[in-house]
Structure 1
Amino acid sequence: MDLNENEIRKIVERVVEKVMSQTIAGSSGAKGDWGVFTEMNDAVEAAHEAFLQFKDRSIQCRKKFIDAVRKMALENKEELAQMTVEETGMGRVDHKISKYVNAANHSPGVEYLQPEAWSGRNGLAVDEYAPFGVIGNISPSTHPGPTIINNIIIQLAGGNTIVFNPHPSAKKVSAKVIQLANKYMYEAGAPKNLVTCVAEPTLETARTLFGHDKVELLSVTGGPQVVKMALEYPKKVIAAGPGNPPVLVDETADLELAAQEITMSASFDNNILCIAEKEIFVVDSVFERFMAEMERAGNYRLSTEEMNRLAEKALELSGKHWLIKRDFAGKSAAVLGKALGLNLQGDVPLLFGEVEKNHPWVVAEQMTCCIPVVRVKNFEEGLQAALKAEHGFKHTASIFSRDLERVTIFTRVLDCDVHVINGGTLRGNGGDLGEGYFSHTIATPTGEGICTPIHFVRKRRIMTHKSFRFV
Structure 2
Amino acid sequence: MTQLVSDEELTPALEIKALVERSRAAQAQIENYTQEQVDALIRAMVWAVAKPGVAEKIAQFTVDETQLGNYDGKFLKISRKTRATLMDIIDDKSVGILEEDKERNIIKIAKPVGVIGALAPSTNPEATPVIKAIHAVKGRNSIIVAPHPRAKLTNKMICDLMREAIVAMGAPADLVIGIDTPSLEKTNELMKQCDRILATGGGAMVTAAYSSGTPALGVGVGNAVITVDETADLDDAAEKIRISKTLDLAASCSSDNSVVLVDKIYDQMVSKLEGKGGYVVNAAEKDKLQHTIWHDGHLNTAIVAQPATKIAEMAGIDLPEGKTFFIVPETGYGPDHPFSGEKLSVVMALYRVKDIDEAILKTNQIQSYQGQGHSCGIYSNSDENILKLANATKTSRVMVNQPQAASNSGNLWNGMRQTFSLGCGSWGGNGTNNNISWRDLINETWVSKPLAVTKVIPSDEDLFGKDIIEKFAKAG
Q: Which moved more, 1:168-177 or 1:301-310?
A: 301-310
Q: Note the 1:269-284 alignment, pairs <5 A.
A: 269-284=248-263
Which secondary structure state, in structure 2, belongs to the residue aligned with residue 105 of structure 1? helix
Whether the 8 Å CA contact 2:372–2:394 is kept in 1: the answer is no
Q: Once the 2 structures are TM-superposed, how far is the Cα of residue 277 of structure 1 from its aligned partner?
A: 0.9
> Distance between the aligned counterparts of 1:116 and 1:258, measured in 2?
40
Query: What secondary structure does 1:334 align onto?
Result: helix
CA deviation after TM superposition for structure 1 residue 317, in Å:
4.2
Distance apart, 1:219 and its partner CA: 0.8
Q: Does 1:117 align with 2:117?
A: no
CA offset at residue 238 of structure 1? 0.8
Q: Distance in 2 between matches of 1:296 and 1:139?
A: 36
The structure 2 residue matched to 1:206, chosen from 187, 191, 211, is: 187
Match of 1:101 in 2: 79
Aligned position for 2:266: 287
Is 1:387 equivalent to 2:367 in the alignment?
no
> How far did residue 461 of structure 1 move?
3.5
Matched, 1:88 2:66: yes
- Would you say 1:58 and 2:34 are equivalent positions? yes
Report if the CA contact (8 A) 2:416-2:435 is conserved: no
The alpha-carbon distance between structure 1 residues 376 and 184, as it changes in their structure 2 partners (threshold 3 A), is same
Q: 1:438 aligns with which of 414, 418, 422?
A: 418
Tell me whether 1:189 sits opposite 2:170 in the alignment.
yes
Distance 1:423 1:65 in 2: 33
Amino acid at match of 1:98: L
Q: 2: CA distance between counterparts of 1:118 and 1:432?
A: 30
Pick from 352, 357, 361 the counterpart of residue 332 of structure 2. 357
Q: 1:427 is matched with which residue?
A: 407
Equivalent residue, structure 1, for 2:108: 127
Residue 458 (1) aligns with residue 443 (2)? yes
Aligned match of 1:40: 16
CA distance, structure 1, for counterparts of residue 36 and residue 320 of structure 2: 52
Structure 1 counterpart of 2:167, which letter?
A: Y
- Report the secondary structure of 2:81's partner residue: helix
1:254 to 210, 233, 241: 233
1:224: how far off? 1.1
Give structure 1 stretches of 5+ with no counterpart: 1-27, 32-36, 467-471
Find the aligned partners of 1:44 and 1:30 in 2 and give their Cα distance: 18
For 2:332 and 2:231, the matched residues in 1 are separated by 21
Residue 78 of structure 1 deviates from its aligned partner by: 1.1
The percent identity for this pair of structures is 21
Structure 1 residues 145, 30: CA separation in 2 closer, same or farther (over 3 Å shift)? farther
Query: What TM-score results when the alignment is normalised by the length of structure 1?
Result: 0.84
1:150 to 131, 135, 144: 131
Deviation at 1:350, TM superposition (A): 1.4
Structure 1's 393 and 353: CA in aligned 2 closer, same or farther, altered over 3 A? closer
Q: 1:29 to 1:455 in 2, by over 3 A?
A: farther
The structure 1 residue matched to 2:275, chosen from 273, 296, 301, is: 296
2: CA distance between counterparts of 1:432 and 1:96?
A: 18
| Equivalence for 2:56 | 78
* Counterpart residue type for residue 360 of structure 2: L
Q: Given the superposition, is the C-alpha separation of residues 419 and 438 from structure 1 closer, same or farther in structure 2, using an over 3 Å criterion?
A: same
Question: Are residues 125 and 427 of structure 1, via their aligned partners in 2, closer, same or farther at CA, if it must alter by over 3 Å?
Answer: closer
Q: Secondary structure at the match of 2:152?
A: helix
SS at the partner of 2:376? strand
The runs of 5 or more residues in structure 2 that have no matched partner are 8-12, 425-429, 452-476
Question: After superposition, where does 1:285-364 map in structure 2 within 5 Å?
Answer: 285-318=264-297, 323-339=298-314, 340-342=316-318, 344-345=320-321, 348-358=323-333, 360-364=337-341
Contact persistence 1:69–1:104 (CA under 8 A)? no
- Residues 38 and 200, structure 1, Cα contact 8 Å, conserved in 2: no
Q: Name the stretch that deviates more: 111-120 or 164-173.
A: 111-120
TM-superposed CA distance for 1:118, in Å, is 5.3
Q: Select between 385-394 and 190-199 the one with higher mean Cα deviation.
A: 385-394
Cα shift at 1:110: 5.0
Task: Answer yes or no: is the 8 Å Cα contact 2:228–2:262 preserved in 1.
Answer: yes
Higher mean alpha-carbon deviation, 258-267 vs 390-399, is at 390-399
Conserved? CA contact 2:285–2:317, under 8 Å: no
SS of structure 2 residue aligned to 1:251: coil
Query: What code does the residue aligned with 2:91 have?
Result: E
CA distance in 2, matches of 1:324, 1:434: 32
Given the superposition, is the C-alpha separation of residues 434 and 331 from structure 1 closer, same or farther in structure 2, using an over 3 Å criterion?
Answer: farther
Question: Structure 1 CA distance, aligned partners of 2:132 and 2:439?
Answer: 12
**Aligned partner letter, 2:100:** A
